Structure 1
Amino acid sequence: MRGRALSWRKGGLALALAALVAGCVGPPFSPLGSGAPSTSPPPPDAPLNDGAPRSESSQAMSDYLARIEATLVGQGLLRQDVAPRDAPFNSRQLAENFIRIALYDEYSARNGNFVAEQSASRLRRWTRPVRMSVEFGTSVPPAQRKADRAAISAYAGQLARASGHPVRLGYGRGNFTVLIVNEDERRAIGPRLRQIVPGIDEASVRAIAGLAPSTFCVAFAFSEGNSPEYSNVVAVIRGEHPDLLRTSCIHEELAQGMGLANDSPRARPSIFNDDEEFALLTRHDEMLLQMLYDPRLKPGMTEAEARPIVHMIAAELMGGDS
């Protein structure tokens, strides 16, 4: 049996055709529309083709997400500045943000489903090198695949530099799989998930295959038994996203797959906040990663055990500023 951590990226605005309420979680696994699923994603080294035809439901999702991105940007959200002067923070705030994001869970398993419920957890992270792989659905066009793979490769390097932990994108099988798929491919993804994570529970498979329209992307982290050390992560990102939303999902879910599994409304400037203000990993977030992989913190630590060390590290990073 595998342990599991879960993070969701939810929408945070209202549109004429669909309401997305900031901070609220609707039924998490209701499927979008209807219709028979098509094929599963190809293995990572499958040759590129011109892309299979996209279904009407996938095109509708693309249009829907384009409107979301345009509305968010129009509201001054999805900012791309990573060290904004209008969002200062001190060492105490950095430490408390770390505690809430790294030592609490956003979701709990209940009756075979996941429900939004904050609960205390333990510090979890990778101890083995992270080897990312990326797979695309057959209807994701080659130009998008090339751009997304380049973005993930560059971001893996950023995560490695920030955390001090080995992270790289390669070819072939890895232990951190990024699936970029459109609607029909995601609905039929169960068999591929069972190959990637042998023994994956059915609740996780249902959650991914039946992703609600209001969920932008999702990541599942797995460990062996009750171990606090990650052994496998699967991140699923909608291929229909326009460029900025897709990049934002890549930044958030891959960083959360490093062990920063929760969100906090107090974290600013941060992607670990459901308000959608920032699209890219900020300097604040890089500090959170540096703290997470500081050798003074150990996998399995509780909040009580980690808290004094976290405040010490935060003060060092901020030059003693409190």
Structure 2
Amino acid sequence: MATLLAARFRGKHLMAAGIFQRMTRIGGAGILSAALAACNLIAPVEPSLKPQARPAALPAPVVAKPTSQKSAMLRSYLNQVQTAQLTQGLLRRDGGGADTPFTADMLARNFEKIAFFNEYDGNFSGRGGQSPLRRWDTPVRMDVIFGAGVPPSQRNGDTYDVRRYASRLARITGHPISTSGSPNFLVIIASEDDRAEALVEAATRVRGITANSLRALRNMRRDTYCAVAAYAAGPDANTYTAAVAIIRAENPDLLRLSCIHEELAQGLGLANDSPAARPSIFNDDDEFALLTGHDELLLKMLYDNRLRPGMSATEAAPITRIIARELTGGPL
């Protein structure tokens, strides 16, 4: 019993340790009486039943709605597109290499074609023309809206990809870009069945965007995987205040990630594509799926403080040539 007491209280109760030491020095009945005295020092433990807190109500599980035949056929078509492109060596994820060299002059020319021209007109119905430099001045706060037919596993993966990419864009540009706070840049990932409803929700969540202004994004051609629209609702027509990217949920994983990379970067101000840009996602040939090192330099140029919204390509040209040489280590 003495050993049990010492083990139970060793290092916790000095009184119990002292009792054990005294017990080892006396014998016979003294040992028994000392042991009984020690036992009497231990108050009985009364059982206590605490009421269990009621668990908070669990959120209802997200259950994706069944897809229509039209959406299922589109998903099959887009899977075939991705397979064919991969077979042809397209949708590269290596960012370029020895086979894709570029010089400072090439970088400056690509920047001019991509930053000072629009890929489409305001209705997405025709080619756009030359435009002044446009970008964001205020912090960009991104959020994702999913269509009701997008399953939970895809939602989790796409949310992670958007958050990670937003952090990367912030590091590249030096501009505050996050996925917290009241959003002004919405990324909609929805199918043919629920894109219209997602656009209605987007119009209620961002100032400066209306359902009518998003009408051009409602009806997308079959061969359009994704699109982005940026808005300048403030006093400066060349400073973006809101943006909405729309990505088909039917896209397979790599095509969907490719859309995230291109549309979010274009929504920052690199509005055009150029067949001369390589290695780049700002090229309709789909050679590269993900943002390349060349593209990172374009974004750095776009948010360089020596450039300002509203500048024309002619005004900016002497500055962009200097920036391009600085970024590539070429002679000034």
Same fold flag (TM > 0.5) = yes
- In terms of fraction of residues, the more strand-rich structure is 1
Name the aligned partner's letter for residue 299 of structure 1: P
Contact 1:90 1:321 in 2 (8 A): no
> What's 2:14 paired with?
none
Separation (CA, whole Å) in 2 of partners of 1:201 and 1:87 = 42
- In terms of fraction of residues, the more helix-rich structure is 2
Separation (CA, whole Å) in 2 of partners of 1:48 and 1:139 = 14
How much does 1:227 deviate?
2.0
Name the stretch that deviates more: 276-285 or 223-232: 223-232
4+ residue stretches of structure 1 with deviation over 3 A? 187-190, 196-204
1:238 lines up with 2:238 in the alignment: no
Superposed CA deviations along residues 83-134 of structure 1, whole A, max 9, x for unmatched, are 321010000000000011011111224xxx4333241101111111111101
How much does 1:187 deviate?
3.4
Change (3 A) 1:66 1:150: same
Separation (CA, whole Å) in 2 of partners of 1:132 and 1:286 = 19
Contact 2:146 2:190 in 1 (8 A): yes
Name the stretch that deviates more: 47-56 or 174-183: 47-56
Name the stretch that deviates more: 223-232 or 247-256: 223-232
How much does 1:50 deviate?
2.2
Structure 2, unaligned runs of 5 or more: 1-58
Separation (CA, whole Å) in 2 of partners of 1:227 and 1:206 = 21
SS at match of 1:218: strand
Mark the structure with the bigger radius of gyration. 2
Separation (CA, whole Å) in 2 of partners of 1:200 and 1:157 = 25
Contact 1:69 1:242 in 2 (8 A): yes
> What's 1:268 paired with?
278
Number of aligned residue pairs? 273
SS at match of 1:106: coil
1:214 lines up with 2:223 in the alignment: yes
Name the aligned partner's letter for residue 83 of structure 1: G
1:130 lines up with 2:140 in the alignment: yes
Match of 2:80 among 64, 67, 71: 67
Q: Which has the higher contact order (CA 8 A, sep 6+)?
A: 1
**RMSD over aligned Cα atoms:** 1.8
Name the stretch that deviates more: 243-252 or 184-193: 184-193
Q: TM-score with structure 2 length normalisation?
A: 0.78
Separation (CA, whole Å) in 2 of partners of 1:130 and 1:206 = 23
Contact 2:208 2:231 in 1 (8 A): no
Contact 2:145 2:198 in 1 (8 A): no
How much does 1:55 deviate?
1.4
> What's 1:179 paired with?
188
Separation (CA, whole Å) in 1 of partners of 2:254 and 2:331 = 34
SS at match of 1:140: coil
Match of 1:89 among 87, 102, 113: 102
> What's 2:70 paired with?
57
